[in-house]
Amino acid sequence: MSGEMPVFGIYEKAVRPSSFENMFQDAREAGYQSFEFSIDATDERLKRLSWGKEEVEEVWKAALAQNMKILTMCLSGHKRFPLGSSDPETIKTGMKIMEKAIELCGRLGIRIIQLSGFDVYDQEERTPETRKRYVENIYLSSRMAERACMMLAIEPVEGNLLAVRDTMEVVKEIDSHCLQIYPDVANINSLGINPLEELPWGKGHIAAVHMRDSLPGIYDATIPFGSGYLDFEGVFRKLDEIGFCGPLVVEMWNTERPEYQEAIRQAREYMELHIRKVRENV
């Protein structure tokens, strides 16, 4: 991660829903430099893809006022409209979501769009055909991204592209400089896969990393950092070894927690402490 501290990012759902200026202020006061914008599968968040000049300008001004970067977008709306679906209308909607997300990111100055590794979610059975359609549509999406100078990054997830090495097969198959990976080390760890063994498979292709703590078989995004089983120091050491220096983005879900501000501050302080420990022991 280089000798300097990485850019610490915070997922939108890790703070209490409010105006963007208030959320950016919460993130900045907790020590974060970047905010991860959410486009999930809800109607409310999908409507953001149709924002006009006024809405975009409002977010821009709020970010400037609070000295907050918006480097990444978590695009999980494809869980509802998966790109490997056997329904042509679902794919049509999914590709429109992709097109609009790339356009919105360009207007907001977002550099990286995290994509789900699901070919289909819970709508139908996964088959070689759903995987084939997924890869074909990710290929088309990467061409959209190239035209827009935007980076897409696939997240390895449970049930499909489980690990970094699986996801890298798709990245290499498509072979676009605008398609990389965005691993979540807690997800990998919860699946019983060792993230220290997986991260080197993505060397040179990791755009950003989602950080949170984890428990075996549990995907709870409210676990305080340090109370689970993730080897944070091992992860940070491995990221240094492979030369990663991109953003570390805390993915927590705190929208209903009154102590959300303390939770995200503790997460950032915990990461910084253990990064320093790793580097002091080199």
Q: By C-alpha distance, which of 272, 198, 275 is closest to 30? A: 272
Give the pLDDT confidence of 203-252 residue by residue, as tens digits. Answer: 999 999 999 999 887 777 888 999 999 999 999 999 999 999 999 999 99
Predicted pLDDT at 218: 74
Strands of the sheet containing 151-155, edge to edge, are: 179-181, 151-155, 112-116, 69-75, 34-39, 8-11, 248-250, 209-211
Whether 96 shows a pLDDT value over 90: the answer reads yes
Compute the mean pLDDT over every residue in the chain, rounded to the nearest whole number: 94
Q: How many Å apart are CA 114 and CA 76, to the nearest integer?
A: 8
With bands split at pLDDT 50, 70 and 90, how would you rate the model's confidence at 179?
very high
Q: How many Å apart are CA 41 and CA 139, to the nearest integer?
A: 22
With bands split at pLDDT 50, 70 and 90, how would you rate the model's confidence at 158?
low
With bands split at pLDDT 50, 70 and 90, how would you rate the model's confidence at 152?
very high
| In this structure, CATH architecture of domain 8-280 | Alpha-Beta Barrel (3.20)
Predicted pLDDT at 159: 62
Predicted pLDDT at 161: 65
**Strand, coil or helix: 211:** strand
From residue 36, give the alpha-carbon distance in Å to each of 52, 139, 141, 282.
20, 24, 20, 31
The mean pLDDT value for 94-121 works out to 96
The mean pLDDT value for 24-46 works out to 98
Q: How many Å apart are CA 83 and CA 90, to the nearest integer?
A: 8
Q: Which two tokens stand for residue 164?
A: 């970094």
The mean pLDDT value for 58-81 works out to 97
Q: By C-alpha distance, which of 97, 108, 111 is closest to 58? A: 108
With bands split at pLDDT 50, 70 and 90, how would you rate the model's confidence at 100?
very high
Whether 1 shows a pLDDT value over 80: the answer reads no
Predicted pLDDT at 94: 98
Predicted pLDDT at 123: 84
Structural domain boundaries in the chain: 8-280
The mean pLDDT value for 27-43 works out to 98
